[in-house]
Amino acid sequence: MPKFILSMILLLTLSASARQNSYIKYQQFILHAEAKATTPARKVMQTIRHMVEQKVIIRGACWDYLDVAFTQAGYPRGKRSIVHKGRKKSGPYSSATKIRPGDWLYYINHSYHNIEHSGLFIGWTNYKKRQGLIVSYAGEGRAEPARYKVYDLSHVYHIMRAN
């Protein structure tokens, strides 16, 4: 087998393993956040956790993935409220106090070219530094399931919540 193919197989295996390990690493944190969340938020968080566990792939971007998760949890577009609305480039950016577990956040992804990204907020891993655990879906045509990852949430410009 050519080295390139072996490298790709190894990379995909390591990548899948890293995603699974991210869930295992944060499992207690995730379950604790679900237990303390409001009923609508808990339903969304549990739905998305099952999607992560089952390695569900949704055709589309991060937004499409979260739209499916909220809808499957029983919160289609008419059952969501906007808690904060700003713009990517100019804000205003949300204060950390507005952000709750189960919120759908739009934020500047400082770890990937400062592009806009959205994800489901699980909880603060370091409140002071504005670092939070997010369920993140890459999208962009990549056939990769969502994963749990810590992001810098200092520039959250849109918050949506199930109600």
Cα–Cα distance list, 136 to 4, 40, 50, 132 (Å): 28, 19, 14, 12
What CATH number should be reported for the domain holding residue 146? 3.90.1720
- Report pLDDT digits (tens) over 96-133: 999 999 999 999 998 877 778 999 999 999 999 999 99
CA distance 66 to 146: 10
Please check the confidence at residue 10 and state whether its pLDDT lies above 60.
Answer: no
Write b or e for each residue in 18-43: b if 16 or more Cβ atoms lie within 10 A of its Cβ, otherwise e: ebeebbeebeeebeebbeebeebbbb
Is it the case that residue 134 has pLDDT exceeding 50?
yes
Q: How many CB atoms lie within 10 A of CB 119?
A: 27
Number of domains present in the structure of the chain: 1
Residue 25 in this model has a pLDDT that exceeds 90: no
**Diameter over CA atoms, the chain:** 54
Look at 139 and 59; give whichever has higher pLDDT: 59
How far, in Å, are 59, 101, 123, 135 from residue 148 at the CA level? Answer: 19, 13, 11, 5
Instruction: Give the pLDDT score at 141.
Output: 75
Mean predicted confidence (pLDDT) in 37-59: 96
Residue span of the structural domain in which 147 resides? 3-162
pLDDT of residue 142: 81
Residue 145 has pLDDT above 50, yes or no: yes
The pLDDT value recorded for residue 65 is 96
